[in-house]
């Protein structure tokens, strides 16, 4: 009887919150569904490419670094991601150039954290597509 009640509860939570978020929370324990270490790539809408490494905490805060091959610079990344994927990043390069990026990230069919974020006008006003693999 307890098993049936648990299955019904999980089904209801999936309907209300989305199954991938619930499954991630169960796998990661309490806290942010996306908590973990990630490594991947980033590409801007105007042709710049790079690599990015992030650590997302259980509270949704994130930090790491991004290497921009066009600038030949590595920037410090700070920001946050919510359980629903709402993401805000700031990348600060050594020459004090800052890029602020916002948008939605989610797990794709390959299990990667992916999203296209919008840059502020000061950063070029384009978009940045980020694809991250967990655990690297």
- Alpha-carbon distance values, 3 to 6, 7, 9, 30 (Å): 5, 6, 10, 21
CB count in 10 Å sphere of residue 48 = 15
Q: What is the pLDDT of residues 98-128, one digit of tens each?
A: 889 999 999 999 999 999 999 987 777 899 9
Q: Distances from the Cα of 1 to the Cαs of 4, 10, 130, in angstroms?
A: 5, 14, 44
Q: pLDDT digits over 22-72, tens only?
A: 444 444 455 899 999 999 999 999 999 999 999 999 999 999 999 999 989
């Amino acid at each position: 009887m307890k098993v049936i009640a648990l299955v019904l509860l999980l089904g209801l939570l999936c309907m209300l919150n989305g199954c991938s978020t619930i499954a991630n929370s169960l796998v990661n324990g309490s806290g942010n569904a996306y908590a973990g270490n990630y490594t991947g790539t980033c590409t801007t809408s105007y042709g710049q490419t790079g690599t990015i490494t992030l650590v997302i905490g259980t509270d949704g805060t994130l930090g790491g670094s991004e290497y921009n091959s066009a600038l030949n610079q590595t920037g410090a990344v700070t920001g946050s991601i919510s359980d629903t994927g709402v993401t805000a990043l700031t990348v600060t390069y050594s020459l004090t150039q800052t890029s602020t990026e916002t948008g939605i990230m989610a797990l794709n069919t390959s299990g990667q954290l992916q999203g296209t974020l919008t840059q502020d006008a000061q950063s070029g006003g384009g978009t940045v597509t980020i694809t991250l693999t967990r655990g690297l």
